[in-house]
Structure 1
Amino acid sequence: MRRTTHLLFAAILPLLFSAPAAAADIWYEVRSPHFTVLTDAGEKKGREIAMRLEQMREAFGVVVNRDHVNIPVPVVVVAFRSTKEIRKYSPIFNGKPVELAGYFQPGTDRNYIALDVTSYNALEAIFHEYAHMLLNGNYPAMPLWFDEGFAQYYETITVDHKTIQLGKAPESAGYVFQQFRLMPIEQLIAVEHGSKAYNESGDHRTIFYLQSWLLVHYLFDRKKLKEMSDYAYLVGSEHVKPVDALQRAFALTPAQLQKQLESYMRGITVTTYTLNRDILPAEFTVRQLDPIDAQVVLADLHLHEMDYQAQAITELEAILQASPANLSAHSGLGYAYLRRGELDKAGAHFREAAKDTKDARVLYYSAMLTHLRGTRTAEGLADMQQKAARAIALDPSFADAYNLLAYADAGLEQFDDATRAIQKAVQLSPRNEQYAAFLGQMYIAQRKWDDAAAVFTRLKSSENGAVAGQAESALELIQHAKNSKAVRVSMRGDQVEVTGEDSAENQAPALARVRPAVESEPQPGPTPMPLIDKRPIEFLKGTIVGIECANDAAATITVSAAGKKWTFHTADRTHIVLLGADSFSCAWKNMKVAINYRATGANAGDLFSVEVQ
């Protein structure tokens, strides 16, 4: 996936879609079944954009043969009437806003799409990342080449009413394929997230993307998705080497597939599909926004961008000065302070926002604050249950809320309920390894050893070292438990504890403790009140230079910021608060991050949270 914001560095063409002068200072909100569009370019333009996105979502379902398409994180589109307006929100490079037609800004609470409606085909600027979002919400983990190839394949899709055309070549494909030889298939299918071919700029990276597109095009055109599914299962679940999996799933050697692909490259065609249903304008609702409501959304867009977060807080505070009861502004500030680790300020704003909210994420973050403050009493866990359940009632597709509900259920040793909740989270976000690990833990809690082993067998090949290590430990635990004469499963603090005995004379110690997906410090039994770390939480924005991960859970992150190198340490990388990423990765590099930490010395600190931008 192309990390952070996805930009289209296109020449901004002459005005093609002009907004009426009367609408210049008026913002409209268009709500379709799966998207929210805000625009100052007029109601008609807002409806057109919402319709196009709904068609693209429907097209994904047709292409991959799915009746239901998940979008696990809400999508909000801000469509600006001019290049001048979007530049106020564009990412900063060398001190200046980047000229662009549109960009995709991911977030944990919502994904933003920003568009300049005067740019030709502005939506195409974000289709690559949009494709990744759809894959993440609807497919289990697939090989990297398939993900990137599909995103390239989907990027050039065209939709006209009920007709979909798919398979148009990227603009650079013809030139690149004439100038360079294809990578050997065995090299292509071996590329991973940490590979040079994926991370380092150059011809090899360009070829990787285009050849991945070509191979995915071949798979769809030759109707080999069943074989692709078998291949992914062999590699991901049975840990078969990619070359061997290729021969077992496709009945082809790498040399045979290479030859077929080189031949296929000379006769690429476009495939036409038909949408399964009409998307009716009657399914949309439109309202004219109060100016202050439009300001809240624009401030929230700033809040989700690394370059504008301080400005966003100032904007939201100014809105509350003018409108103290504005729930959305309180919600935005609560989220802002939560990201900074200022839990008291975050809690105050979330309490205000929750008074009359219909926003599931307000309730979720209120419950999350209970967790972050270490409130693991029966009353605290019951409060988390109630807030998470209310969040789910407001948004039944909210995967994080099911995860938090499962955590609270498990804390109260309601393991059956916890299992049902985390199963739903996995269904809604099938690539989230933390959810999968939590599901495996709940199977352990229920003594469903084979189900647990199946989950952790898949996870032990994770590219995330912490997840892979946890899976190895869990598999060892499961084997010991199956061989023990007596097994006891219980909650100890916020950990699942399994103990067993091999014989009356030889009692085994605790086999292992596996933490739920929502991490926090353990509190075993009645103990003295823990010491409170009174060091202030500080904030830094920068770029990850490198990460050193120890064999245990410890990690040290080196960050470049303001011309200096900073180092941040954590004793448990599975414990830190993460925003913008499902799990911590020791392979992160050259990624923009926002760090919350407690200082330990000059340019050094103990890590509290990481937000990946």
Structure 2
Amino acid sequence: MPPRLRISSTTIAVFAAAVGVFSPASARTPDQWILVRSSHFDLYAQTTDNKSVRAALEWFERLYTFFSQETGLPLEGRSVRVIAFRSEREYQPYRLGPLAHAYYIGTGDRDCIVLPRLGNNEFATAGHEYAHLVLHATGRRLPSWLDEGLADFFSTVRISKTGASIGGELPAHTQSLRRLAWMELPRMFSIMHDDVRDDRALAEVFYSESWALTHMLMLSPEYAPRFHDVVERIASGAPSEEALVNVYGRNLGIIKRDLHRWIEDHARAQADFGEIPNGADPALRSRAVTAFESREILAQLLLGIGELDRAQAAYRELAKQEPEHGTVYAALGEIAVRKHEYASARDQLKRALEKGVGDAALCYRFASLADSVEIPEQDLQRALERAVALKPDFDDARYSLALLESDSGDFEGAVEQLRAMRVVSPARAFDYWSSLSYALNELGRFDEAMSAANKAKQQASTPLQRTRADELAYIAQTDLTVRFAKDSNGNLQLITARVPHNSHDWNPFIEPEDHIRLLEGTLDEIQCTANRAVGVTLNTGREKLRLSIPDPQRIQIRNGPSEFLCGPQSAPASVTVEYAAGPGEDNTGAVRGITFRPDSGASKHTAR
């Protein structure tokens, strides 16, 4: 039974293309395009030869089938667009770089493979670019040598009616390696894609050696069994040299020696597989592409490769042709964002939304501009609400909407949006839980707020964050009130304060710096000056204490009369006195509150 290469999504192992025969594209004018759709691909071809386009799409569907069957890596739900030009001449203005014979560009939910033509010679190139697509879809970032090495390795897949194979020699690479001086492995590991984009000589040896090392690691009996571990470590952030040395227990000198021997003796090695079924829909849908559509596709391509000025000019022409076409304004807004022209971006994206563009990401991008340019709150609200309506699992939009609703006082709405989020990333965890705790506190749902504050503290990573979490927990356990305090000039003023829930004995006249003491006894005398109370005498049974009254209007009286008779009291009342103790050890100080106990006999109401 033919061997099967089974790997995890980290390894990104074997997949690639089915053998199909592409007839040369018919000689047509450059703006004649045809679209053929299947379950997984939209193929735009600059031709009217429907037969060749259908054959090409069947080839891509076999590519998808092989990948799904042999690796198990998912691509369901992703929109893959293939753009095939009529010839190199038409492809040239949209080339990603001078060495890009074809290329792949990917966004969040759309992947695009761009080919100079449909033809037999494009088979390996398309397989290579599809490899980049799958690597991108996994979400793992690999170093350039491994990314390109895997893509070249995958481009060697061959499928027939009786079976499939992968591997074998890439003559251009082996010839380069025989002719050129090899670079040291650490140098190869350090090279980035941009380093070779315009350097043909460096690119030749880099791509060739990257393919050679990947070929050995994938197929050599000594290296292949642990290649998964290498990719796992590299994808997790380990340097390439460290991963190779630790996994194989060999230094780079030995690995380089093995690599030279492998390419000399085993460059044609390959792995064989069983039959790959044709997964293409027999009823492929095809239609001619309108002139406006074809121009928009090319404008999208310019935007995708970063040709912002050319893309902007193209979209402005499209806006003149179809002023009601909302996607044109969406693209102009995206271009303005990337050019840091935020006011223009706001206006263009708002216009796109007004034209009915149903794109959750567009709604969110519009709202995100509020960090750079003024946007009315109602416009932000509508855009974010539309984003989550279009895409209920759009957590970034829900989080932004929650903050907006919290800022506007809609705390119920904020809690609803926060709790509807599917995933709270570690980077956002503290802000998420602290925002939730704040909103719940404002709603008076203190137990829930306390729980959220505790989770915020667990996620806090700085002293400032821990302090904020403690504040939220304190708020969840207390109520807002007021108290008196002295300003810098010694004048009393009201300030806000917090007291524990259901605190019925709060005294606002106690100042923050007071050292409060409580004494029980009888109120024997009230000292007055000019009919104004200035002190009291309290009989504790053991001693008589005289306490001052700085301001009779700033004493909390509980269960007692509002006025008293100056001088000795004929029927001394039983009281508890709160007073701010003086600096000494004796019981002197200023009265802050008097509570009359039930056995009190107070009745006179004259002193103030």
Distance 1:419 1:277, change over 3 A: farther
Is 1:299 aligned to residue 299 of structure 2?
Answer: yes
SS in 2 for 1:440: coil
Distance in 1 between residues matched to 2:231 and 2:464, nearest whole Å:
30
For 1:377-392, list aligned pairs within 5 A: 382-392=381-391
1:146-179 CA-to-partner distances (Å, cap 9, x unmatched) read: 2232122123334446854321333333223334
Q: Aligned AA for 2:338?
A: R
8 Å CA contact 2:163–2:276 kept in 1: the answer is no
Which residue of the partner structure matches residue 494 of structure 2?
none
Is 1:285 aligned to residue 285 of structure 2?
Answer: yes
For 1:248-287, list aligned pairs within 5 A: 248-265=246-263, 266-268=265-267, 269-274=269-274, 278-282=278-282, 284-287=284-287
Distance in 1 between residues matched to 2:157 and 2:192, nearest whole Å:
26
Is 1:66 aligned to residue 52 of structure 2?
Answer: no
Which residue of the partner structure matches residue 174 of structure 2?
174
Is 1:478 aligned to residue 464 of structure 2?
Answer: no
For 1:387-536, list aligned pairs within 5 A: 387-392=386-391, 403-409=396-402, 423=423, 439-445=425-431, 478=461, 487-488=469-470
For 1:158-197, list aligned pairs within 5 A: 158-160=158-160, 163-179=163-179, 187=186, 190-191=189-190, 193=192
Distance 1:16 1:293, change over 3 A: closer
Which residue of the partner structure matches residue 80 of structure 1?
85
In structure 2, stretches of 5+ residues that fail to align are: 1-21, 407-413, 435-456, 473-608
Counterpart among 45, 49, 52 of residue 52 in structure 2: 45
Which residue of the partner structure matches residue 317 of structure 2?
318
For 1:69-148, list aligned pairs within 5 A: 69=75, 74-87=79-92, 89-90=94-95, 102-104=102-104, 112-117=112-117, 120-122=120-122, 124-125=124-125, 127-148=127-148
Higher RCO (CA 8 Å, separation ≥ 6 residues): 1
Distance in 1 between residues matched to 2:239 and 2:333, nearest whole Å:
47
Which residue of the partner structure matches residue 217 of structure 1?
215
Counterpart among 43, 48, 54 of residue 61 in structure 2: 54
Q: Aligned AA for 2:288?
A: Q
Is 1:36 aligned to residue 22 of structure 2?
Answer: no
Displacement after TM superposition at 1:278 (Å) = 3.2
Which residue of the partner structure matches residue 335 of structure 1?
334
Displacement after TM superposition at 1:281 (Å) = 2.5
Distance 1:233 1:134, change over 3 A: closer
- Report the TM-score when normalising by structure 1: 0.54
Displacement after TM superposition at 1:138 (Å) = 0.7
Distance 1:249 1:366, change over 3 A: same
Which residue of the partner structure matches residue 150 of structure 1?
150
Distance in 1 between residues matched to 2:419 and 2:226, nearest whole Å:
31
Distance in 1 between residues matched to 2:123 and 2:401, nearest whole Å:
40
The alignment of Structure 1 onto Structure 2 pairs a total of residues equal to 417
8 Å CA contact 2:303–2:311 kept in 1: the answer is yes
8 Å CA contact 1:17–1:118 kept in 2: the answer is yes
1:476-520 CA-to-partner distances (Å, cap 9, x unmatched) read: 9638699x7994498xxxxxxxxxxxxxxxxxxxxxxxxxxxxxx
Distance 1:36 1:489, change over 3 A: farther
Distance 1:270 1:321, change over 3 A: same
Distance 1:162 1:31, change over 3 A: farther
Q: Aligned AA for 2:37?
A: R
Identity %: 18
8 Å CA contact 1:70–1:134 kept in 2: the answer is no
Displacement after TM superposition at 1:135 (Å) = 1.1
Q: Aligned AA for 1:246?
A: L
Distance in 1 between residues matched to 2:180 and 2:320, nearest whole Å:
60
Which structure's CA Rg is the greater one?
2
SS in 2 for 1:356: coil
1:58-111 CA-to-partner distances (Å, cap 9, x unmatched) read: 444445x22413786x54333333455444545697xxxx9x864545667855
Distance in 2 between residues matched to 1:291 and 1:211, nearest whole Å:
44
In structure 1, stretches of 5+ residues that fail to align are: 1-14, 424-437, 449-473, 491-613
Displacement after TM superposition at 1:123 (Å) = 5.5
SS in 1 for 2:170: coil
Displacement after TM superposition at 1:342 (Å) = 3.6
Distance in 1 between residues matched to 2:283 and 2:332, nearest whole Å:
32
1:361-402 CA-to-partner distances (Å, cap 9, x unmatched) read: 54444344445436696x676545423324536xx8xxxx65
Distance 1:340 1:209, change over 3 A: closer
Q: Aligned AA for 1:51?
A: E
1:409-433 CA-to-partner distances (Å, cap 9, x unmatched) read: 577687997799685xxxxxxxxxx
8 Å CA contact 1:360–1:392 kept in 2: the answer is yes
8 Å CA contact 1:193–1:199 kept in 2: the answer is no
SS in 2 for 1:77: strand
Q: Aligned AA for 1:17?
A: P
RMSD: 4.7
Q: Aligned AA for 1:350?
A: L
1:279-316 CA-to-partner distances (Å, cap 9, x unmatched) read: 22347432333333333323333444555x44544443
